[in-house]
Amino acid sequence: MHVRIWGCRGSIAAPGPETIRYGGNTSCVEVRGDHGEAIVLDAGTGARPLGERLMGEHEPSLRVDLLLTHLHVDHLEGLGMFAPIWSPETELHIWGPPSPVASLDERIATYFSPPLFPVHLTEVPARVSFHDAPREPWTIGSITVSAHPILHPGATVGYRLESEDRTLAYVTDHEPALGTDLDAVDTSWISGYALAHHADLLIHDCQYTVEEYASHVGWGHPSVAHVAAFARRAEVGRLVMFHHHPGHTDDQLDAMRGEVLSGWSVDPARCIVAAEGAEIVV
């Protein structure tokens, strides 16, 4: 699998000179399968440039599978500017967390409709299908996908993508240590553990420093210490620190990487700060 990061900022886009190295677009990751499958993880503002690239390369039709972790706006706000959705040649499958209250398309339409957006979701030209993420693994081309609910306010899932013997885990917007000592508890009681266990690459929320987390308990994001503990317990290959706080500068993110590595004693090359444009082979 080939991974390209199009947006790795959390909460709200944060362009500017202090975020130029790691980028300011919100969550969007492109995954290409070995047979050309086009999977998109979340549709933050990074979905806009990704959509332009996809439209520039497809002939004559395009299938895209968009896997949404949840429907907070920083993971959805790029959908209206995702160029393939405005093409009738596009077959777009949108997968997302099931809710006991409303269907996935109803919940997405809350954002994708007036007054928050000028066009209603039902009016887009693309052939769009909505799917509740199944409880059992399913396949997209050669890739097997699993979705599990994870600890974050509201219906939220993480994803595990497996292709032959390689595994990518995408677990963003996740507070695994809420009420839990990650070092003491049996792993079966750790949110997201099964998704991340032995993943070759884990893309994980890394929003707060330890000091910041103290005043944000329950907001749905971890501290660097939690991320280190989670990576250690899940025995992942490489970790990509993701969902950067919009207020964190490039230099602060470098310092946070050092804090993760102080709690996860591995070859530093295994700990990566997500950056827009970065490409990683899994």
> Which residues of the chain form contacts with another protein (CB under 8 A)?
98, 100, 135, 144, 146, 148-151, 160, 162, 164-165, 167, 178-180, 186-191, 193-195, 197-198
Is the bond into 88 cis (omega within 30 degrees of 0)?
no
Nearer to another protein, 2 or 198 (CB): 198
252 contacts: CB under 8 Å, gap ≥ 6 = none
CB 27 within 8 Å of CB 7: yes
Least distance from C-beta 123 to another protein, angstroms?
Answer: 30
Least distance from C-beta 200 to another protein, angstroms?
Answer: 10
Nearer to another protein, 87 or 191 (CB): 191
Least distance from C-beta 216 to another protein, angstroms?
Answer: 18
Nearer to another protein, 190 or 274 (CB): 190
Cα angle value 140/144/150 (rounded, 5°): 110
Least distance from C-beta 106 to another protein, angstroms?
Answer: 16
Least distance from C-beta 185 to another protein, angstroms?
Answer: 9
Taking the C-alpha atoms of residue 230 and residue 122, their distance in angstroms, rounded to an integer, is 40
Least distance from C-beta 41 to another protein, angstroms?
Answer: 19
Least distance from C-beta 36 to another protein, angstroms?
Answer: 20
Nearer to another protein, 101 or 269 (CB): 101
Nearer to another protein, 188 or 265 (CB): 188
Nearer to another protein, 67 or 121 (CB): 67
CB 204 within 8 Å of CB 172: yes
Nearer to another protein, 101 or 281 (CB): 101
